[in-house]
Amino acid sequence: MSKRQEFTGKKQERAPSRLGSMLCFTVYSTAHAFNRAYKPLLDALGLTYPQYLAMFALWEHDDLTVKELGELLHLDSGTLTPLLKRLEAMGLVRRARDTADERSVRINLTPAGIEMKGKERTVHEGLMGACGQSAEELKAITAQLVRVRERLDAAASLYASSGKKTRT
């Protein structure tokens, strides 16, 4: 009980927060909820969520350059390189200079990384169950969010190319 409540004997009423009606906050807080739901599932694989995303992309498209993987994950190489070094230290991926272009580094799954793919199904099923939505509902939500992300990326590019400041 607050000091005011003790003095007046009344519960202080708060105006409802507008945070819950903001799309950006809803996406932000949902991302945190996803991370909390994923954590115990990924702990069983010994992966963090960003590592899981990188592995998932490689399970779909092995033998990618760091640049290609970064584009898939919407991450820059400065963020991706330490993550890939950790996956390599875990014996899940191999990083090697591209023989055709020495400037590029290619990422390949190791046998242990390929074997881990079989265990991924439990992660996927566990998260789908936690969402409590049908596959069709989740596809529709995902499609809407992809459209929003694409429009936001386009707007950010437009601002960047016009030289307008986005911060004050």
pLDDT at 91: 98
- Contact indicator for 111, 117 with CB cutoff of 8 Å: no
Asked whether the predicted pLDDT for residue 53 surpasses 60, the reply is: yes
Domain membership of residue 138 (yes or no) is no
Instruction: Answer yes or no: is 156 within a domain.
Output: no
CB contact at 8 A, 42 and 49: yes
- Residue 57 falls within a domain, yes or no? yes
Scan for tokens 């190791």, then name that residue.
Answer: 110
Asked if residue 149 has pLDDT above 80, the reply is yes
**pLDDT at residue 61 tops 70:** yes
Write the CATH number for 116.
Answer: 1.10.10.10
Q: How many domains does the chain have?
A: 1
| Structural domain range at position 117 | 39-130
